[in-house]
Every structure is written in structure tokens, then in C-alpha cells.
A and B are shown apart, each in its own frame.
Chain A
Amino acid sequence: MSRIQARFAKLKAEGRSGLAPFITACDPDLETSARILNGLPAAGADLIELGMPFTDPMAEGPSIQVSYLRALKAGATMKKTLDLVRGFRARDNETPITLMGYFNPIHHMGCEAFCKAAAEAGVDGLIVVDLPAGEDGELRVPANRCGIDLIRLAAPTTDDRRLPTVVEGASGFLYYVSITGITGAATPDFGEVETQVARIRKGTGLPIVVGFGIKTPEHAKAVARFADAAAVGSALVSEVGAAKSGDEAVARVHGLVSRLAEGMRSAR
């Protein structure tokens, strides 16, 4: 059983929805992001999404765009991103880590080489925003061979005609993009999201993680009622941006993660 499968089995046994915080590797710098990452499970994270910085993140709102640029300015590279995962894995062998980002840096390294290095570092899943079903074979095949899940995304525009393509060959979990828009923009209508998640569950038995537009403990609580996990990104990287020091960034991110986790635990 993979770490992702084991974690969702545990959440199911505990009868609750998980929290999947997103942070950017090397934001605001390598050392601080290592402290943020390593402290996430204790703050209440059930799964972790680690952003791979990219110059041209076309699906991200301003918060994550700025976060990626901060990280790149601080010298972020794919090697450092994988080093962060390796450092985390030495401490925690249970919390799944999914790398999230765009295809070009992976493509540049080579899909095979990247998957081997990621698996060796302790990565469990990949979310590659600009690599949709139908185009992702060149990464999915080597990833699966290395024991890594390539996570598929579904969106409100993923109609019943498209959905079978999205779930075909999917593994790990399904990421439901709760709004038609960029990350951290509009707040979704959670009633509508619940309806959509129910529709998608008819097409797949995979756990469903809901993300995009979830910012507050109240939002997380609303999502916890029907999703297997809630992903929060823009709100957390905004805390990094607002911090005046590394210590403050660590405290702010862990503080918000704790409040989000509390909100979710009160949902069911």
C-alpha cells in the first residue's frame, strides 16, 4: 500500500476529511521552507503539496505567482526541491508528499530521470497543472513505474463527456478544482462543489481532494463535509509573503494550518 493509500485509509478509519496544505519549495528561502515543511504534520497536515517553482505559472493567482518568484529569486532549483523532500522523509515516513507545478522543468530534466530522482527522495504523487489527461502518458508511465501517482485534475468544466478520459488510468487521488479560475481567486459556492463532487464520485472510486479558493477554517470545514481532503495554498503562501522574518513565516504558516485543521475536525 502506498503512503497516499495508507493515509486515506487512516482518514476513513478516523471518519474525517484530511487537510492538504500547499507551500512552495524554497519560499522564502531553502532553510525557512525546510522548517515550514518539516513542521506541517505537527501543525495538522494530513497530506502535503509542495510547489515546484516556475517562471510562468499560467493557472496561478497572484499569491502563488509571487511565491514562485520569491523562491526563484532565493535560488530554487529542482534539486533543492527534491532535497527538501529527502530531508522531510528522514523525519516522517508516513505523510504523503505530492509535488505540484508545471511540466517544463520536469520535461527539461527528462521524465525518466525526474521520476527516479523524485521516488528516491520520497515523493508520492505529482500534480502537473499543464499536463492534462490525454497528454500525460510520457510522465505517467515512468512515474507509475517508480511507484509515484500522477494525480489527475477535474474541473467544473469537466463534463460527463470528458470525465471518463480524466479518470481512466488515474491513481492516488483525484484533485477537484472547485472554481473555474486561478488559484486563490473567487470563493467557491460550496453547495455547488458538493454537487459536482458527488457527480465525479460516480465516475471514480479514488479519494477526492478539493482545492482552489479555500482560504479560511470556515471554508475548510464546509469542504470537509463531503471531500476526502481539502487543499489550501494561496492563503498559506500569502502568510509567507506577509512575514518579516523566517521565524515569523514559520509561525504564521503553522498557525494557519492549525486553525484550518481545527476547523476541519469540527466538521463531522
Chain B
Amino acid sequence: MTAIPKPNSYRTGPDAQGHFGKYGGRYVAETLMPLILELERAYLAARADPAFQAELDGYLAHYVGRPSPLYFAERLTAHLGGAKIYFKRDELNHTGAHKINNCMGQILLALRMGKTRIIAETGAGQHGVATATVAARFGLPCIVYMGEVDIERQKPNVFRMKLLGAEVRSVTSGSRTLKDAMNEALRDWVTNVHDTYYIIGTAAGPHPYPMLVRDFQAVIGNEAKQQMMEREGRLPDSVVACIGGGSNAIGLFHPFLDDPSVQIVGVEASGHGLDSGMHAASLTAGSPGVLHGNRTYLLQDDDGQITEAHSISAGLDYPGIGPEHAWLKDTGRVEYVSATDQDALEAFQLCARLEGILPALEPSHALAHVIRAAPKLPADHIMLMNLCGRGDKDVFTIGEALGAKL
């Protein structure tokens, strides 16, 4: 990789065409082009409208339960014997993950645009649950596309979506996971353009989605920064988050990008190991390509066909990555590392016993990095990790992996 020049700021992207460096863009069928241009106009107008932000802030405070706490993980810190570890507790949000921050923003935008039907894709089901939740709250019909494989491994969330009144459509094409659910949601959107709003769950897809999802998730990093100043009187030395499509990570990272003292680490899922061919580490082991509306790092073969990702965590099981992360990797501002299924399972168990918190399998990957890195760091190193989801949805998967009968 040839080094690219360091920008004056890492927080100005994307450009007017939706590019972060050479990544991002709008690679969609012509049928959708006028729609995403309209979406961009509507979003920029909403973002500039104080009434929109005030309405969103109100729902975030009184419905989602923000701000989420900044928690000092005292026993984990003592156990690891190194850096001082804080969790940003986004798993305490309504619906149990960071996903609702984005869904709340997007449904208010959909209402503002006069759309009457909501669609979404989901992997782990957290984004599906969050979308079904806001659709119920605002009285709009909701269809969630979910891969057949994910439906099987995330049964509790499937039932939650149904209880919330959403229709869950099983996707049986391709690898029957998140990427195929996204294909199917795009096919629905292209068919129902006149009344449908597509709530994309991660900071990927065609412009303006990577930008608007990031903006809605940046509440995580903005709160954490302020909370850390109040608690410690200074910024953290490092921030850590797991990466599937990358929405919780970009939400945490973005407010810290121009703080050079803060080391930033994204943790991808390396499944059975990077050499096994069964992983989801598109930044670490993939190459640039075009999928789902944006240019980014992808898992692909020698002929440009998309290969299947693998992770024990359905939320990280995606062969692409948000385009801003692709750019942050190339600029070197963010370091991207990985953790295996086994690393995540061990981190999950340690967190459960030491902190009384069941993290979702997704942030268990971030935690695996914390467990690796913290012991080598001094006690005055402050490490902040986004605990972006709770693990209740994963108990069946974890039970199976540990050989326990439920």
C-alpha cells in the first residue's frame, strides 16, 4: 500500500460526491439514483434544521435512554493489571445495542420525507429489532430482510421483531447471511421506490448512507468524550471498537479523529483465523472493490467474485466494511486488528464473571483486543471500549459453542 498524504483533518469527509479518498461513492442502479440524490438533499436540510436535531435529541433522551453511562471496569482492570479500562455502555440503550441511535435518526428523516413504508436488512437482528421498534413507535409498516442462516442463529431477535409487528422475510439466496439480506433489501427498494424508506443499519451503502449513519452514531463518541473529560479531566489514550460494517466504531471514533494523542483501534472478526479462509476481516485480509453501493475493502476471489464471510457473531459476518474505515486504514489514522471466534468467546466469559455484564459477541471481539493489549500498558493509560450491544441474544450460540445444553 503506497502511503497517502496526511490530511489536515480526518473529519471533513465525505466530499460532495460521497467519497472518502477513493472509497465510498454511489454505485447503484439508475432506478435508485434519483432517490439517493433526494435522500441526500433531505438529509442535509434536516441536519441544518435545529428543530430536527431537537426532536431527535428528545427521543434519544426519553425513549432510547441516552446518554449511556461511561463505566469504569474496575475488576477487569485489576485482573488485567495494566491500562485503566472504561466501557461506553451502549448496550444499555433501549433494544440493547447502539443500532437504535441510527434508526431513530433515520425514521425521523423518513417521516420528514413523507415515506410510509420502512424496510431494513439485518445480520444479528439488532438492527432489525431497532428498526422494528422505531417503526412501531411511529406507526409505519416494517419489513426486515434477514438471511436464513442468521434467522436460525438469532431466533430470539426474530421473535422480538415479530412481536413488534414487523414482517421478517427470510433470504435464501447466496450465503443466506447479511450481504444477501442487503441485496434483497435493495431489490425491494428498487421495486417500491415511491413510498419506501430503506433504513440501512451500518455505515456503508451508497452515499449519503455512510455519512448519515456515522452522524447519527457519533452521539456515542461525543458523549464519551465529554464524560471522560468530566471523570478523568482528559481524553482517553486509546479507543477500541469492533467492526462489522463499522457503525458503532465510526460513531465512537469520529469525534476523536483529530485528537492525535488518542490511539484508535478497530477490531475485525477473524473467525476461525485469518489463514483459515473462514473470517470476516475485510480490512486486514481483503482488497478494494465495489459492492452494495460503495467502493471499499471486500472479501473477494481472484475473479472479483464476493466470497463468504464467517464469524461466530452474525453482526460481524459481512464481507465488506464502511468506506470511511477503508480510508482511515489507508491514511493510517486508525489501526485495524482482528480477533477470532475463540478469542471473543473467552472475552465474553471473562466479562460476564468479572463485571457482571453479558456483552454481545460483537463487542466481545473488541474486548478480546482489550484483554490482549491492556496488560502491556501502564496503569495511567486510559482505554475506552464501546460495549455496543448486550449478549442476551447470543446465549444460544454461546451455549452451543461451549457445549452447554440450554
Contacts and interface: CB of A to CB of B under 8 A. Distances in A.
Interface of A: 53-59, 61-62, 65, 69, 72, 77-78, 102-109, 129-135, 152-159, 161-162, 166, 177, 180-182, 185-186
B37 A132 contact: no
A162 B34 contact: yes
A134 B26 contact: yes
Contacts of B32: 157
Contacts of A156: 31
A244 to B, nearest CB: 23
A59 B304 contact: no
B34 A58 contact: no
B190 to A, nearest CB: 6
A53 B174 CA distance: 13
B306 interface: yes
A132 B304 contact: no
A163 to B, nearest CB: 10
Given A155-B29, A177-B29, 14 more contacts: A56-B174, A58-B183, A58-B292, A59-B186, A59-B187, A77-B303, A103-B290, A107-B295, A108-B289, A108-B303, A135-B17, A157-B35, A180-B191, A182-B190
A57 B173 CA distance: 11
B147 interface: no
B26 A135 contact: yes
Contact of B191 (A104, A109, A185): A185
B30 interface: yes
B179 A56 contact: yes
The winner among A72, A154, A180 for most chain B CB atoms within 10 A is: A180
A110 to B, nearest CB: 10
A181 B306 contact: no
Nearest to B193: A180
Contact of A109 (B27, B291, B304): B304
A146 B196 CA distance: 41
Contacts of B173: 62, 65
Interface residues of B, number: 39
Interface string B289-330: 111110100101001111000000000000000000000000
The winner among A54, A106, A152 for most chain B CB atoms within 10 A is: A54
Interface of B: 17, 25-35, 37, 173-174, 179-180, 183, 186-187, 190-194, 287-293, 295, 298, 300, 303-306
A2 to B, nearest CB: 23
Contacts of A154: 30
Main secondary structure of the interface of A (DSSP, over half): loop
A182 B34 contact: no
A85 B191 CA distance: 32
A72 to B, nearest CB: 7
Contacts of B303: 77-78, 105, 108
Contact of B28 (A78, A130, A177): A130
A182 B293 CA distance: 16
Contact of A56 (B17, B30, B291): B291
A107 B25 CA distance: 14
B183 A108 contact: no
Contact of A105 (B31, B33, B288, B305): B305
Contact of B306 (A56, A103, A130, A153): A56
Nearest to B27: A130
Contact of B290 (A59, A61, A130, A186): A130
16 contacts: A56-B174, A56-B306, A58-B186, A58-B187, A108-B287, A130-B29, A132-B26, A132-B30, A135-B27, A153-B30, A157-B31, A158-B31, A162-B33, A166-B30, A180-B190, A186-B191
Contact of A182 (B27, B28, B179, B191): B191
B17 A134 contact: yes
A161 B35 CA distance: 12
B34 A59 contact: no
A81 B30 CA distance: 25
Per CB-CB distance, the 10 closest pairs between chain A and chain B, nearest first, are: A108-B304, A105-B304, A155-B31, A181-B191, A153-B30, A59-B29, A55-B306, A58-B186, A130-B27, A103-B290
A214 B28 CA distance: 22
A159 B34 contact: yes
Contacts of A131: 27
A180 B186 CA distance: 12
Given A55-B305, A182-B191, A153 B29 contact: yes
A156 B293 CA distance: 20
B174 A55 contact: yes
A180 B293 CA distance: 18
Nearest to B207: A135
A215 to B, nearest CB: 17
A102 to B, nearest CB: 8
Given A56-B174, A59-B187, A104 B31 contact: no
B110 to A, nearest CB: 18
A172 to B, nearest CB: 15
B37 A162 contact: yes
A141 to B, nearest CB: 16
A117 B26 CA distance: 26
A114 to B, nearest CB: 10
